[in-house]
Amino acid sequence: EISEMSERSKQNVAHGLAWSYYVGYLKIVLPRVKKSMEEFTSDNPNLLACRKTWKLHILIPLSCDVYDDLEKADSNIQYLTDLTETTLARAGTKKRVYKHSLYAIRDEENQLWHCAVEYATPLQSLYAMSQDECAAFSREERLEQAKLFYRTLEEILKGSKECAGTYRLIAYEESGEAETHFLSREILWHLRQQHHEEFPVHEESPLPAPSTTLDSAELNLQISMSDLPQPLRSDGF
């Protein structure tokens, strides 16, 4: 009965997507990220000088608006190259390839920052469900599920020893106004914070978070921590 109630209210959608994303993808690729970074840095020692950024930066827009081409999302984001591929036999597919793309992010002073970045692909499923009449998934439900997806994924990764220090979740709420370089500013804030952590300058104050960047403390107010999935509150968000 509880299972049927949860299914009718779609409470398990984001929870299942987060676990599937972790088990079927992140748990496979994240432990190999640093090795790929090391191999790339041996040939390009100046591009990834800050080891704190040797992570996969995962974009989580709560709108679930995912671009297939980051360069089209923001002209200050430029594709550079792909990191070393990981090839595995997976679920009957021989030589399945896993790889990450390295990007150059241009800041306000025309300087380039480099990192591996990609969207959390399950958000495409949430968006598609909200557009499909069969799923009957409203825009409000999509927002609540996006919050739950982020919070669940964060908790899963925090408990994963093999993935420790290999990722950076970038959850954000896009502003209503059209901003040409919104996404690059979001990524740059996280890169600068990591540089600040590795090369602290005592006279500098910590970087203030942009108004659109979210952390778990904010989402804790909307998301239940019960063992069973519960409806989320969207008021005040």
Model pTM above 0.85: no
The mean pLDDT value for 122-149 works out to 84
The number of helix segments (H) and strand segments (E) in the chain equals 9, 7
**Stretch 170-199: mean pLDDT, rounded?**
87
Nearest to 72 by CA among 14, 119, 129: 119
Q: Provide the residue type at 40 as one letter.
A: F
Integer Cα distance of 102 and 112 in angstroms: 12
pLDDT (average), residues 58-71: 94
Asked if residue 6 has pLDDT above 60, the reply is: no
pLDDT(106) > 80: yes
From residue 24, alpha-carbon distances to 48, 194, 221 in Å are: 28, 28, 29
SS3 of 160, please? coil
- Is the pLDDT assigned to residue 153 strictly greater than 70? yes
- With 0-12 / 13-18 / 19 or more C-beta atoms within 10 angstroms meaning exposed / middle / buried, residue 50 is middle
CA distance 68 to 141: 23
Question: Cβ(181)–Cβ(72) under 8 Å?
Answer: no
Structure tokens at 159: 């408990």
| Average pLDDT across the chain, whole number | 82
Largest CA distance in the chain: 59
- Domains in the chain: boundaries: 20-199
What is residue 178's predicted lDDT score, i.e. its pLDDT? 67
pLDDT band at 13 (very low <50, low <70, confident <90, very high): confident
Asked if residue 5 has pLDDT above 70, the reply is no
Q: Among candidates 141, 209, 198, 126, which has minimal Cα distance to 171? A: 209
28-60 tens-digit pLDDT: 999 999 999 999 998 888 888 889 999 999 999
User: Looking at domain 20-199, which CATH architecture does it have?
Assistant: 3-Layer(aba) Sandwich (3.40)
